[in-house]
Structures are given as structure tokens and as C-alpha cells.
Amino acid sequence: MTNALWKSLYFATITGLSWCSCCYDAGPGQNPNIPAIAQYFSTKGRYEEVNPYLINDILAVNSSALQPPSPQCRQIHLTAIIRHGTRYPTAKNVKKMQDVHRVVQNSTGGRDSWLREIRDWRMWYTEDMDGRLVRKGVDDLRHLAVRLSKLFPSLVAEEKLRGGRIKFITSSKHRCVNSTLSFIAGLTEAWAIRDMEVEHAVNDALMRFFDKCTKFLEEVDKNPSALIEADKFKRGPEMKRVQEKLADRLDVPYDLITYDLVEAAFYLCAYEFAIKTVNSPWCRLFDQKDAQVMEFALDLKQFWKRAYGHDINSKSSCILFHDVFSRLDKAVTEHNSGREVTEAVTVQVGHAETLLPLLTLLGFFKDSRPLTSANYATQTHRSFRTSRMIPYAANFLLVLYDCGGEDIRLQPLVNEQPIAFPGLTDQGESMPLYEDVKRQYQELLQGCDFETVCELFKTPTEG
């Protein structure tokens, strides 16, 4: 399908929608095609909810947001670490969705017509879908590729691709390989390239480091007590209220509605929206307060399993951390010695579980207090919100600039928005000197050895 055709189809499904911040607070009456709770879907959220201007124009970029310190700054390298696009639920989640579907079909409450709509809703998710990329996921990556070519025109450029200076590395999971191919297709379609094959490398050691880090696997992944705060919250008063409200809406006994069923219903709303762009009747089971509680429960899980909750979570990404910085070093060295940078662009496609530990290792989205089962109320304005950080097609970009002489700068962006390196904010802008960034991460650069930190029964003393 051509870009233009797809776009027109896409907009046909969200007719009459004009972007404004009111979309979020609006009741379903005002923007019937976007669930009122769409900004709380955590890792099941749509990228467009993070950058709402994309709802009007999926290829829009805001180049002025990059704001290099002087107009003579030139882009010399881009590393893009990208999560795969929108996908089907995994087999495990499909099972839970089937469970909640059965409970709802059994419910007798019939006062509301939307309840009948849920009962009539046909369960179409099957276990064999097992997390594969959907059509919307293909477009997530195709469109991201085009936007990056607009944001970084001298790097994500046809002659760089033809010259083999854009490199692709992906996790072996089908959804990631497909995302990589979709990103490449976005570029080759945009430049009408038909006479060349673009290669990609599969590298799970880099993109699925979490599977290879023994200490992480033993102490967190397979250790139920590592998630004790998340579990406590699921049994706590805020969640109990969400379960009771849902039971009331369905007119079923309270003890029938477990946390897992609530989560499955929430995910059904999220998947129907992300995959088909429909505001399904499942969304009516939650109001905004409920959705905020659900989001916090999901954030808690990510916090303790992939982020600041345990030190090994972020340390497991040491291998990717060093890979990124050695590539940046190489680009700077080549550039400073007057050569053309070998890898103008590196695109690395992985998972939410790839991005979150790395962002954590670098200190992004760190609140002054950890997220716990007891501080839902005081964490309302937390920066650790997975809905904003890691929706489908989430991306972490590192852009090297030459601003004249040996003035080399590094700009980090998350989901195409510039952010500041923690501890380097006194620079007044988000583009510090590369040397200052390296000084900031000196300890990690000198330590953070994957083999050492992932070894079980050994506490590394450095990095």
C-alpha cells in the first residue's frame, strides 16, 4: 500500500479529529474514536498519545525543538535505539483476555447498552498471534523512518544508505526483525530505491541482554520477591476499589473480579485501540481514576523489574551502554581526523526491556523517591511514567554534532523530544559537550563490565 493511500485510510478511521490537549480530558462524547483513558496504557500505548501532533500528520516533525547552540552545528552521527512497533498480545495475555471475556459474557447486568456491546463483542485474539507485529506496527516504523530522515537530513540520507553507512542491528524476535524491515522499507519507499538490498544483523547479546545476564535472571526475573511492591499494590485499597467498580459495572459478585481479570480488560481496551484504532466497549469499564491506578500498577512492575527498583536491572544493559559509547567515540575520532564517519547512522531495534534498563543506567526519569505500593498519591507527578517513556515504537536517540573546531556535542532525545542528561542541566540546553557527557558517566565507562556485573554470587566493587 502506498504511503498516501495508507494515510488517507488511517485518517478515515479517525475522522473529524483535530488535535488539542482537550482530547485527553474530553469525555468519549467529544472524540469518540480515542478512548478517554488512552494515555494510561503503559507499554501497550500508542506512540501518537505521546506526540499528539502526529494524530493530524503522522509524518510531522519539529526540527526547531532540536535547538543546536549555534547555527553552524552539523549532525555527524545518529544512534537510534528503537522498540518494535504495535504488536499482537502474547499467548499468556490472550489466555487472560479469554478469561475476562467469558466472565463478561456470563454477566447478567443489562442496564447499559455498552454492556450488551461487550457481550456481543467477538473474541478474535488467538494464542498463535504470540506477540507478532501487526499492520499498524509496520507503519509505526515506516513513519518513524521518514520522520528521522526529516529531522536528520544529512545523516538519514539516501547517499548514506547507498554507501552502506546506515547500519541495522535487531533482536531476533520476529516483531523486531519485522520492525527493522519496516523501518528500512520506510526509507527505500521514500527514496524510491529498488535496486538494492539493505542488510541487517541479528544480535541478541546486545538487544536482548536481559536474557543473558545470570544475576538479573536469578535475582529479579525468576524471583517473585523482587516484585513485592508491585504485588502489594495489586492487593491494596486503590486497586480493590478499581475491582469493585468494575464488578459493579458488570453487575457480578466482587470476588469474581481478580486483578488479572481487571488487567486483561484494560489490555483489551488498549489492544483494540492500538491495533485497530477503535474505542471499544471494553474501555467503558474504566474511568480516568481507574486508569491512573492501573497505570501506576504497571509502572510499579516496570520500576522493580526493569528500572530503578534493583541495581542489576540497569546494570544488565552494560553491554549495550559500552556498545553505544564505543561507537560514538569511533565516530568522533573519525570525524576529528577529517575522515567521513563510517557509521553515519546506527539503528538498533529491540524491546521495552532493552530501552528501560539503558535509560535507567543513564539516570533518566528518576524521581526523588522510589515508586512503592504505599505512595500512589504522592507520585501523581512522577517522571517515571512508562506510558510516556516506552509506548510502541519508543525510541532513544543520540545525536552527535560538530559545532565548529573540536566542539563536539551530544544530544539525547526520547521519543523525538530532546531531554537533558541528568547532572548536565546547568548547561542551559540539552546539547552538552560530548566530553562533559563522558565525564558524567566516567565510572560506568571505566567499569560496568557485563560479565562481572551479571555474575552470580559476586558483588562488583566498581561501575
What is the binding site for ligand NAG (CB under 6 A)? 53, 62, 64-65, 102-103, 106, 133-135, 138, 178, 181
Name the minimum Å distance from CB 178 to ligand NAG: 4
Question: Nearer Cβ to ligand NAG, position 171 or 178?
Answer: 178
**Angle between the 288-306 and 352-361 helix axes, to the nearest 10 degrees?**
70
Question: Nearer Cβ to ligand NAG, position 140 or 353?
Answer: 140
Name the minimum Å distance from CB 250 to ligand NAG: 11
Name the minimum Å distance from CB 138 to ligand NAG: 5
Name the minimum Å distance from CB 181 to ligand NAG: 5
Q: Which three cell numbers stand for residue 262?
A: 481487571
Q: Residues 209, 216: contact at Cβ < 8 Å? A: no
Q: Residues 338, 247: contact at Cβ < 8 Å? A: no
CA contacts within 13 A on the Cβ side of 269: 25
Question: Nearer Cβ to ligand NAG, position 62 or 277?
Answer: 62
| Annotation marks residue 84 as catalytic | yes
For residue 353, which of 132, 84, 90 has the smallest C-alpha distance?
84
Residue type, 264: A
Question: Nearer Cβ to ligand NAG, position 181 or 213?
Answer: 181
Name the minimum Å distance from CB 277 to ligand NAG: 15
The residue assigned the cell 513485592 is: 228
Q: Which three cell numbers stand for residue 259?
A: 486483578
CA dihedral sign, ordered 252, 255, 261, 262: positive
Name the minimum Å distance from CB 318 to ligand NAG: 32
Identified catalytic residue from 77, 84, 101, 143: 84
Question: Nearer Cβ to ligand NAG, position 65 or 456?
Answer: 65
Question: Nearer Cβ to ligand NAG, position 335 or 388?
Answer: 388
Name the minimum Å distance from CB 296 to ligand NAG: 27
Question: Nearer Cβ to ligand NAG, position 100 or 227?
Answer: 100
What residues are annotated to the active site? 84
